[in-house]
Amino acid sequence: MMVKTSVLENGCNAKRNGREDCNRMTDDRLNNKKIIVTGASSGIGAQLAKEIAKAGGKPILIARSADKLGELCKTIYRDYQIDCPVYPLDLKSEAAVQSTAEVIFEDNGEINALINNAGAGRFAGIQEFSMGEIEDVFSLNVKALMQMTMLYLNQFSSTQGDGHIINIASQAGKLATPKSAVYAASKHAVLGFSNALRMELAPIGIHLTTVNLGPVNTNFFDNADPSGKYRQSVRRYMLDPHKVAQKIVKNLFKKKREINLPWWMEAASRMHGIAPRFLETMLKKQFNKK
Ligand SMILES: NC(=O)c1ccc[n+]([C@@H]2O[C@H](COP(=O)([O-])OP(=O)(O)OC[C@H]3O[C@@H](n4cnc5c(N)ncnc54)[C@H](OP(=O)(O)O)[C@@H]3O)[C@@H](O)[C@H]2O)c1
């Protein structure tokens, strides 16, 4: 579905009191760049879409909730006078991902960046999972991310050779903790895939950045932690999705290997790499908050 509104030539509304009515702070790096954001209907993805538009880029929005995407699109046009096409899509459907990609290329032409942000998971002991649920987590967090990357890579390399892929992983992809076995495994897979691909893509001028986050205050926890117990216990240091999005957008089209937030979780992951048993003993109480 395309939500279309016309953009004035300079991208802003007509002059009001002699000044352009435009909240945008156009950044040359992003100006007129077409950037696909998956999982754009809420949380980090919705904030990313806004930040991209604020900097003069054109976010192309993907998620399942057509109504939420439509609303976001209207808000973005109202605030930044940027048209953003929306493509409601269940990323777990391989056929739908393929056919939507064809429509996106036809509608938008050259794509400049892809942010694989959609993802989900549930914090629970492994015996509480069915194989179907495990398959669902991997289908969205890993398989869809790989399929999107493959489809859009072909487009980057044939058009410009300077694309950027940003994969939203997690600190759970670096350091697994109890009750996160399935989610952590999926995010470890994202990091493994991304680390290999980054080296494959470097010679053709395509950058790949991974984003590893600690808890972020979004709807993610509605599914991950329905009891609200974990959310409550980490409330003090939950990241703000808007600040996370600002940091990511600041690094679009830059050769940044990883974005890690908060810094002290990254420090713990590094220490875990050196002395896992020591850290698991030291931080046992912290690790068992789920
Ligand atoms: N929040 C955290 O604490 C945290 C920490 C580390 C990493 N992350 C990662 O950050 C990313 C964004 O999560 P968030 O915190 O912003 O959570 P969120 O608010 O729940 O957003 C998830 C997004 O993914 C979309 N989505 C879910 N299933 C989908 C499907 N089958 N097809 C298409 N889109 C789908 C959702 O939209 P629809 O429901 O409309 O489809 C929504 O837009 C995820 O990859 C998550 O693993 C989050």
* Among 123, 113, 59, 77, CA closest to 287: 123
> Torsion angle, CA of 14/20/23/28, rounded to 10 degrees?
110
Place of tokens 């669902």: 136
Residue of minimum CA distance from atom 48 in ligand 1? 216
Residue of minimum CA distance from atom 43 in ligand 1? 39
Predicted confidence at residue 160, as pLDDT, reads 59
**Residue 121 belongs to some domain of the structure:** yes
Predicted confidence at residue 18, as pLDDT, reads 37
**Residue 214 belongs to some domain of the structure:** yes
The answer to whether the CB of 49 is under 6 A from ligand 1 is no
**How many angstroms is it from 91 CA to the middle of ligand 1?**
11
**Residue 250 belongs to some domain of the structure:** yes
Which atom number of ligand 1 is nearest to the Cα of residue 38?
34
The catalytic residue positions are 183
Predicted confidence at residue 128, as pLDDT, reads 96
**Residue 287 belongs to some domain of the structure:** no
Beta carbons within 10 angstroms of residue 181's beta carbon? 17
Average pLDDT per block of 10 residues along the chain, 290 residues long: 40 43 74 96 98 97 98 98 97 98 94 97 97 98 98 74 90 95 98 97 92 97 94 94 98 96 93 92 87
**How many angstroms is it from 19 CA to the middle of ligand 1?**
38
Q: What is the CATH number of the domain that holds 153?
A: 3.40.50.720
**How many angstroms is it from 118 CA to the middle of ligand 1?**
4
CA-based radius of gyration for the chain: 19
Instruction: Give φ, ψ of 63 to 5 degrees.
Output: -175, 180
**Residue 289 belongs to some domain of the structure:** no
**Residue 210 belongs to some domain of the structure:** yes
The answer to whether the CB of 173 is under 6 A from ligand 1 is no
Q: Chain-centre distance of CA 223, in angstroms? A: 17
- Which residues, including other chains, have CB under 8 Å from residue 200's CB and lie 6 or more apart? none
CB 152 within 8 A of CB 105: no
Q: Determine the structural domain holding residue 191 and report its residue range.
A: 24-263
**Residue 244 belongs to some domain of the structure:** yes
Rounded CA-CA distance 162/103 in Å is: 22
Residue of minimum CA distance from atom 19 in ligand 1? 43
Is the Cα torsion angle 283, 288, 289, 290 positive or negative in sign?
positive
The answer to whether the CB of 91 is under 6 A from ligand 1 is yes
The answer to whether the CB of 88 is under 6 A from ligand 1 is no
Rounded CA-CA distance 139/144 in Å is: 6
**How many angstroms is it from 160 CA to the middle of ligand 1?**
29
Rounded CA-CA distance 191/195 in Å is: 6
Taking each helix axis as running N to C, give the angle between helix 145-159 and helix 181-201, from 0 to 180 degrees, rounded to the nearest 10: 10
The answer to whether the CB of 118 is under 6 A from ligand 1 is yes
- Candidate from 218, 242, 258 with most ligand 1 atoms within 8 A of CB, to mutate: 218
The answer to whether the CB of 65 is under 6 A from ligand 1 is yes
Predicted confidence at residue 158, as pLDDT, reads 55
Place of tokens 């850290």: 279
**Residue 237 belongs to some domain of the structure:** yes
How many domains in the chain? 1
**How many angstroms is it from 187 CA to the middle of ligand 1?**
13
Structure pTM? 0.92
Reading phi first (left if > 0) and then psi (alpha if -120 to 50, else beta), residue 206 is in beta
- What is the DSSP code (8-state) at residue 246? H
